[in-house]
A and B are shown apart, each in its own frame.
Chain A
Amino acid sequence: MRILLVEDDPTVRSYVSKGLKEAGHTVDEADNGKDGLFLAVSEAYDVIVLDRMLPGGIDGLNIVETLRGQKNKTPVLILSALAEVDERVSGLKAGGDDYVTKPFAFSELLARIEALCRRGQTDNPQTTKLVVGDLELDLLAREVKREGKRIDLQPREFRLLEFLARHAGQVITRTMLLEKVWDYHFDPQTNVIDVHVSRLRQKVDKPFAHSMIHTVRNAGYILRVPDKSA
């Protein structure tokens, strides 16, 4: 994926850039709003990561607004130290697709960037069937089958599995699950998300030879086609 990173803090910029390159992406960097805007409008990127407060007279919101004004639909992730809910709302209103507040865990940022990259491909609401390896989800009948065998899921378990399946092969963080599956915007003090996932695993993975839902240390979860050769 080709990613544009506009961030003025050199430490954060080099760290994020290094991490993204390690994850296999191509990264262009800009350290001020002017250069950032220039790159954003002249090049084609899969995702743009924008700091909100930038030197050079043009801040992150200006860049998003300019892009959207030009009908440029490149997904934009806003990275900001402004963590208040109102700020988040104004960032999303300006045309941002996701909002990550500083300080952040890199795994969270990476997971969200990758989710944005593939958004166009999997978020199609017209889809009625999701297939990941031998796992099949019928979105209309709300039925799940693995290796042709029906799995009984509660509605909340189905929604969780649906989200993981839509983002199959991507790391999904706990916060993302909380926001996207339950639409909750708080930080639970207990490990309630882990419990939900482990319940799902009991039903989706336990009865079968290979597991599909994996825990990614310090990050979250991933649903992927099992590597049968292993």
Chain B
Amino acid sequence: MTQVQRNPSRWQRWPIRSIGVNFALTYSVIFILSAGIFLSFTWWSTTNLLNRHVQNAIESDASDLLHRWQAGGPHALSHAIEDRLDQNVDDDALYLLVDGQGRRLAGNLPGWPVKIQKPDRFYELPIRRYSFRTIAKFRVYDLPKQYRLIVGHDVRDRALLRHIITETLVWCSLMVSLLALGGAFVVRRLFRHVVYSIARTTRAIANGDLNHRIALNGSETDLVAETVNTMLERINRLMDGVKQVSNAIAHDLRTPITRARTRLEDAIEHAGTEEEIREAVSLAVSDLDHVTMIFEALLRIAQIEAGAKRAAFAEVDLNQLLETMADFYDVSAEEANIKLVLAIDPLPVITGDKSLLQQAIANLLDNAIKFAPSGSSITLEAHAHPSEGEGNSTGNITITVRDEGTGMAEKDIIRAHERFFRAEAARHTPGSGLGLSLVQAIMSLHKGTLTLRNAEPGLSVTLTLPLKG
């Protein structure tokens, strides 16, 4: 078992593992932040507006009062101030008129606030009115004869506004939090639902039922589902392969082992002479050699299929390879009264594993010689098919071995690549049934293909190798 390595990031320290909850938390944080920003902006622009409003009111009020002063002096001004205070329903206007000695002549401010000194600027101060404290804006106007006038405005509206906005923010956060919680719950359920449907299928598969597939529903999880389904297809195929191979091993390895065992046991029980024992033992040894041969072929296929052998790739001169191979097998064919005909074009050099390619061609020639009838001929053909256009060396090379034997039944051709498969007619000839599997594996390693075709008469086996390996 391999340990699943968790990505050691800073997320590791985050205690919550549920995606749904994290999702909702992130969302609520974003919501609250944006609500805060939005309300702060509203607060800022509204108070600005209010301030400007108050300042304008103060300024226009003051200029009106200054006109009165010019028209009627302190007396008229005092009157005007008293009038205004009477008419001020909102009770938010503040005035104070003092003379040179600092005596209060009119207004509703109890006394001169210490902090207010310079004219021509606004002051914002907390003041005590009646029984409550409030904030007000003031401006001082210096009048002739050292009279001084304060015009002010209560801005407790602004405090009220702030209160409202703060309250809104609190409620807003509360509601967002509730929504986030609910959302977390919903999102979590949705996630779980989706993951469960995948998990259910994979669990069934883990339990050995490989026929389940995850249903596609058009959602984002289809990507995962499709990948998992493809993976399952592959596992299924591999499992079938393993099953088929283990059945075949059971049969093809057990048979010679049983034979060897029986022979030895029989020799122990019944052999009378040393000659008989020797005979039995040497037959048993050849049975075991057969087992070894199958074993080695299997290991070789497995090793090639693992793809580790590309390390041995080098430039291969196919013409030389095919000609020496034909020369090697020529005598064998002649012995069986078969003619080995060559039709080999000049071929470009390819990249590959020379000894594996030799093995592949040897297997095909072995097979052809084994199954071709006496007096017929076997053709070893090789052609290069460079693809037109592009200019870079793509295209392929085909190597065909064609015999004039009985060929193979269509249903056997389909199964010929399978490990240990032997057509009924071949059951009684020597061989392991692994030859074409090995060729197939070698071709896959070279990104090539193996094709079997009935050539009427006979069988034509073609290896197709890409020019760019």
Question: Which residues on the B side are within 8 Å of A185 (C-beta)?
Answer: 355, 358-359
Query: Quick check: A190 and B366 within 8 Å, CB to CB?
Result: yes
Query: Quick check: A192 and B328 within 8 Å, CB to CB?
Result: yes
Interface size class of A (residues with CB under 8 A): 20 to 34
Q: Bound state CA distance, A187 and B358, in angstroms?
A: 11
- 8 Å CB interface, A69-122 against B: 83-86, 103, 105
Kindly list 19 other residue pairs between chains A and B, CB separation below 8 angstroms, not including A83-B299, A189-B363, A195-B334.
Answer: A84-B303, A85-B309, A86-B311, A156-B327, A156-B328, A182-B324, A184-B328, A184-B355, A185-B355, A186-B358, A186-B359, A189-B366, A189-B430, A189-B431, A192-B328, A192-B331, A196-B328, A196-B331, A218-B282
- The smallest C-beta distance from B25 to any residue of chain A, in angstroms, reads 54
Which 5 pairs of residues, A with B, have the shortest CB-CB distance?
A186-B359, A192-B332, A189-B366, A195-B331, A185-B355
Query: Quick check: B335 and A195 within 8 Å, CB to CB?
Result: yes
The winner among B288, B329, B332, B370 for most chain A CB atoms within 10 A is B332
Q: Bound state CA distance, A107 and B367, in angstroms?
A: 28
- B: number of interface residues (CB 8 Å): 32
Query: Quick check: B288 and A184 within 8 Å, CB to CB?
Result: no
Q: Bound state CA distance, A86 and B332, in angstroms?
A: 31
- 8 Å CB interface, A192-219 against B: 192, 195-196, 199, 218
The winner among A190, A196, A218 for most chain B CB atoms within 10 A is A190
Task: Name the CB-closest residue of B to A105.
Answer: B289
Interface residues of A (CB under 8 A from B): 83-86, 103, 105, 156, 182, 184-192, 195-196, 199, 218
Q: Bound state CA distance, A105 and B311, in angstroms?
A: 30
Known: A103-B292, A196-B331. A85 touches B299 (CB 8 A): no
Known: A182-B324, A195-B332. A188 touches B362 (CB 8 A): yes
Question: Which residues on the A side are within 8 Å of B309 (C-beta)?
Answer: 85-86
Task: Name the CB-closest residue of A to B430.
Answer: A189
A-B contact pairs, 13 of them (CB 8 A): A85-B309, A86-B308, A156-B328, A185-B355, A187-B293, A188-B366, A189-B363, A189-B430, A189-B435, A195-B331, A195-B334, A196-B328, A196-B331
Query: Quick check: B296 and A83 within 8 Å, CB to CB?
Result: yes
B443 at the interface (CB under 8 A from A): no
- The smallest C-beta distance from B310 to any residue of chain A, in angstroms, reads 12
Query: Quick check: A190 and B370 within 8 Å, CB to CB?
Result: yes
B369 at the interface (CB under 8 A from A): yes
Q: Bound state CA distance, A113 and B449, in angstroms?
A: 41
Q: Bound state CA distance, A84 and B359, in angstroms?
A: 15
Q: Bound state CA distance, A201 and B367, in angstroms?
A: 26
Query: Quick check: A191 and B332 within 8 Å, CB to CB?
Result: yes
Task: Name the CB-closest residue of A to B435.
Answer: A189
Task: Name the CB-closest residue of A to B328.
Answer: A182
Q: Bound state CA distance, A195 and B366, in angstroms?
A: 13
Task: Name the CB-closest residue of A to B302.
Answer: A84
- The smallest C-beta distance from B415 to any residue of chain A, in angstroms, reads 20
Query: Quick check: A192 and B363 within 8 Å, CB to CB?
Result: no
Task: Name the CB-closest residue of A to B304.
Answer: A85
Question: Which residues on the A side are within 8 Å of B289 (C-beta)?
Answer: 105
- Choose among A83, A85, A182, A187 the residue that contacts B312 (Cβ–Cβ < 8 A): A85
Q: Bound state CA distance, A221 and B367, in angstroms?
A: 26
Q: Bound state CA distance, A162 and B362, in angstroms?
A: 24
Proximity bits, B293-320, A CB within 8 Å = 1, else 0: 1001001000100001101100000000
Query: Quick check: B311 and A103 within 8 Å, CB to CB?
Result: no
- Choose among A86, A184, A190, A196 the residue that contacts B369 (Cβ–Cβ < 8 A): A190
Question: Which residues on the B side are within 8 Å of A195 (C-beta)?
Answer: 331-332, 334-335
Question: Which residues on the A side are within 8 Å of B366 (C-beta)?
Answer: 188-190
- The smallest C-beta distance from A169 to any residue of chain B, in angstroms, reads 26
Proximity bits, B277-293, A CB within 8 Å = 1, else 0: 00000100000110011
The winner among A105, A156, A186 for most chain B CB atoms within 10 A is A186
- The smallest C-beta distance from B399 to any residue of chain A, in angstroms, reads 16
Question: Which residues on the B side are within 8 Å of A187 (C-beta)?
Answer: 293, 296
- The smallest C-beta distance from A98 to any residue of chain B, in angstroms, reads 17
Q: Bound state CA distance, A185 and B362, in angstroms?
A: 11
Task: Name the CB-closest residue of A to B293.
Answer: A187
Task: Name the CB-closest residue of B to A155.
Answer: B327
Question: Which residues on the B side are within 8 Å of A188 (C-beta)?
Answer: 362, 366
Task: Name the CB-closest residue of B to A192.
Answer: B332
Task: Name the CB-closest residue of A to B335.
Answer: A195
Q: Bound state CA distance, A85 and B302, in angstroms?
A: 13
